[in-house]
A and B are shown apart, each in its own frame.
Chain A
Amino acid sequence: MKTPKIDLKEIKKMKKQNFKERLKFIDKYTEWLKKTKNKKWSRQQKKIINK
């Protein structure tokens, strides 16, 4: 079986982009948390954690 060519440079670039996006998401999520009632955000969090 032929394995796909892996471009390490491209992967590194993608990793950097993903990390940047992740940080942006955290900032957005934090803004949402700030203006959302505890009951609402903690109910959503509970769904993820208690899975």
Chain B
Amino acid sequence: MEIKYSKNKIELEKELNALDKLAIKISTILNKQDIKHVIVSGYICILFGRSRSSENIDIIIEKIGPEKFEKLWKETKNKELHCINAQKPKEAYNEYLTTGVAIRLSKKDEFIPNIEMKFPKNELDAWTLKQRKQVLLNSHKLFIPPWNYKYHSNSSSEAKKTSRTQNTSTTLSKTN
């Protein structure tokens, strides 16, 4: 694995899969809208080589006001990403995001893979967003949790495996 890393940034070139492309798409939109965000959970392991797929890409975005969200809504529609679980921006904002429920975005007429987007729900989410690190994936800017991030919210064996793989990714970045 060829990977460049520094304190706050990792650079990686790879053949992009469908999930990488979706992650790049949403990150580009959020970067353009100047919305602080961080991708978390399973996709991080996939980004660094785990051979598994995922139905969704989890992303935490900073709390934004309804007007800024409306702009984001329009931009996602322009880029052909549609909300699966809400029809209108007001519904998505008031009934989902601000009540702690994620909205799901996907390409038109597709359910998977989708982007699960939410506001920070707890201290860990807020910390992850604040401490985020940059990944340049084929020169596209993505944000991921700090290198030593672990998932504590779920104690299932799958979560343990995920956590382990993520740490493995960290090891890779340190040893290459």
Q: Which residues of A come within 8 Å of B, CB atoms?
A: 19, 22-23, 26-27, 29-30, 33-39, 41-46, 48-51
5 contacts between A and B (CB under 8 A): A19-B157, A26-B164, A45-B15, A45-B51, A48-B53
Q: Could you say which of B14, B17, B171 contacts A38, with CB atoms under 8 Å apart?
A: B14
B13 within 8 A of A: yes
Contact A34 B1 (CB under 8 A): yes
**When chains A and B are docked, how far (Å) is the Cα of A35 from the Cα of B49?**
12
Contact B15 A36 (CB under 8 A): no
The B109-159 residues at the A interface (CB cut-off 8 A) are 157
**When chains A and B are docked, how far (Å) is the Cα of A47 from the Cα of B168?**
22
Contact A50 B1 (CB under 8 A): no
Q: How many A-B residue pairs have CB under 8 A?
A: 63
Task: Map CB proximity to A onto B84-99 as digits: 1 under 8 Å, 0 otherwise.
Answer: 0000000000000000
Q: Could you say which of A22, A30, A39, A45 contacts B17, with CB atoms under 8 Å apart?
A: A45
The B1-56 residues at the A interface (CB cut-off 8 A) are 1-3, 12-19, 46, 49-53
Residues of A within 8 A of B3 (CB): 38
Contact B53 A42 (CB under 8 A): no
Contact A42 B171 (CB under 8 A): no
Residues of B within 8 A of A44 (CB): 51
Quick one: given A30-B171, A46-B17, A48-B52, are A38 and B164 in contact (CB under 8 Å)?
Answer: no
Residues of A within 8 A of B164 (CB): 23, 26
